[in-house]
Amino acid sequence: MNLANKLTMFRVIIVPFFVFFMCFSAMPYRFLISLILFALASITDMFDGKVARKYNMVTNFGKFLDPLADKILVAAALICFVELGWTSAWVVFIVMAREFLVSGIRLVAATSDKKAVIPANIWGKLKTAVTMVSIVAILIFGVLIDDLGVIGGDFPVQIIRDALMYLSALLTVISGVVYCYDCREFIDPGK
């Protein structure tokens, strides 16, 4: 396994630790630890692709695993956010539905006569970046409110959380529609 794929695997391995700290309410500074883990995982997402391209380490395994690792990380964070009351379930449903749809299309493409491996497009990358930045911002509020107590109850935290998640949901829908359009040759009920 090359370095780029190891970075991607590392991102997947971080997820259970992230979920543990997000959900274990007795842990002091749990949101700070979660934020550090999420940021570390997000940084590996930036570097694995750059390393793969720069050192000619692009593999079909990496093209498959990288977006899957992103989906696992983001899904874990959003599910934890619902558990904590930080976002609405319908937002998470939109994100998860798009991810299942895209994964299904990728599976169909990979098993088609063309054996196509479809990498993420610019809209998918933008959606992922905005969603990850939104998650980091929401985690920072968790640190400031719950871990450190420096933001009081009159600060409009939930409005900001909602705005960030709505933006992520909007980009999720746009990227899903673009992805379906770009991959329409693989979406043929007659085949």
Q: What are the pLDDT digits (tens) for 86-128?
A: 999 999 999 999 989 988 888 888 788 887 777 778 998 899 8
Count of other CB atoms within 10 angstroms of residue 31:
23
Contact assessment for residue 141 and residue 160, using Cβ atoms and an 8 Å cutoff: yes
pLDDT, tens digit, 9 for 90 and up, residues 7-31: 999 999 999 999 999 999 999 999 9
Domain annotation for the chain: domains and CATH numbers: 3-185 (1.20.120)
Residue linked to tokens 């497009």? 121
**pTM for the full predicted model:** 0.88
Task: In whole angstroms, give the CA distance from residue 51 to residue 46.
Answer: 9
CA 44 – CA 143 distance, rounded (Å) = 22
94 in Cβ contact with 149 (< 8 Å)? no
d(CA 129, CA 34): 18
3-state secondary structure of 119: coil
Tokens of 190: 């007659």
CB contact at 8 A, 6 and 55: no
Maximum separation of any 2 CA atoms in the chain, in Å = 59
Q: What stretch of H or E contains 146?
A: none
**Tens of pLDDT, residues 131-141:** 989 999 999 99
Residue 27 structure tokens: 């842990």
